[in-house]
Amino acid sequence: MHNRKNSLFVGNPRGGRTAAILASLTSSCRRHQIDPQLYLTQLLINLPSTTISQLHAWLPDQWKQRLIEPLKNI
């Protein structure tokens, strides 16, 4: 019972914000039927070279469309 209550809290506000962002991204991935690990791996690899104006393309639904479009032409 003790462990269950402890899991409701994060160490600090920054950790809570990070956890919320990751939970939101993984939830969006599941909603769009995307493998969260694949998506996050690609995001983290490409994020350093991504400009602010290109960030919208890395939203899960946009990323999925970019990934699938080339396959439709095969």
Q: Consecutive sets of 10 residues in the chain, 74 residues long: mean pLDDT of each?
A: 56 83 92 94 94 94 86 67
Q: How far apart are CA 13 and CA 23, in angstroms?
A: 15
Instruction: Give the model's pLDDT for residue 67.
Output: 83
Instruction: Give the model's pLDDT for residue 7.
Output: 53
Q: How far apart are CA 28 and CA 39, in angstroms?
A: 11
Instruction: Give the model's pLDDT for residue 1.
Output: 47
* CB distance 34 to 60 below 8 Å: yes
For residue 36, the tally of other CB atoms under 10 A from its CB is 15
